[in-house]
């Protein structure tokens, strides 16, 4: 069964840091582009970051550039999101998503999400 499981969310103070993890199973992880998408309370979905299969290409939404870093460990079937200088507006459920192979961008498999709350 294809599965993505996120972890690492929690309560953090403004200016703090957090590292999210997403462990995958059921497919050949190293063959897939991976992404993080978030949903703030009462808001819509927002793409956050994406990473190429070999880690050579990273892309970020403007609002997190310079503060968030996406990375992966293909040996551990894991993708990460290192978040620093966190702001209240980063409060959201963060989803890990697999980019559909052969389609260049749609996201066909999603994790259940991990909640990040930035508050003092």
Partner 1 sequence: DIQMTQSPSTLSASVGDRVTITCRASQNINNWLAWYQKKPGKAPKFLIYRASNLESGVPSRFSGSGSGTEFTLTISSLQPDDFATYYCQQYITYWTFGQGTNVEIK
Among residues 62 and 75, whose Cβ is nearest to partner 1? 62
Question: To the nearest whole angstrom, how small is the minimum distance from the Cβ of residue 59 to partner 1?
Answer: 6
Smallest distance, Å, CB 46 to partner 1? 7
Which lies closer to partner 1 via its Cβ, residue 27 or residue 47? 47
Burial (Cβ within 10 Å: 0-12, 13-18, ≥19) of residue 68:
buried
Burial of 95 (0-12, 13-18, 19+ CB in 10 A): buried
Residues forming the site for partner 1 (CB under 8 A): 35, 37, 39, 44-47, 50, 59, 61-62, 95, 97, 100, 103-113
Q: Closest CB to partner 1 among 50 and 92?
A: 50
* C-alpha span between 9 and 4 (Å, rounded): 15
Is 89 or 108 the residue whose CB approaches partner 1 more closely? 108
36 and 94 in contact (C-beta within 8 Å)? yes
Which residue from 24, 12, 11 is spatially nearest to 99, judged by alpha carbons? 24
Q: Minimum Å distance from CB 2 to partner 1?
A: 12
């Amino acid at each position: 069964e294809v599965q993505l499981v996120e972890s690492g969310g929690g309560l953090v103070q403004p200016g703090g840091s957090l590292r999210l993890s997403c462990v995958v199973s059921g497919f050949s992880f190293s063959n897939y582009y991976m992404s993080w998408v978030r949903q703030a309370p009462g808001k819509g979905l927002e793409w956050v970051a994406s990473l190429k299969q070999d880690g050579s290409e990273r892309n970020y939404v403007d609002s997190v550039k310079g503060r968030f870093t996406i990375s992966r460990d293909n040996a551990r079937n894991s993708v990460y999101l290192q978040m620093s200088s966190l702001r209240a507006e980063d409060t959201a459920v963060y989803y890990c998503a697999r980019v559909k192979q052969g389609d260049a961008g749609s996201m066909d498999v999603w994790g259940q999400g991990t909640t990040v709350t930035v508050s003092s």
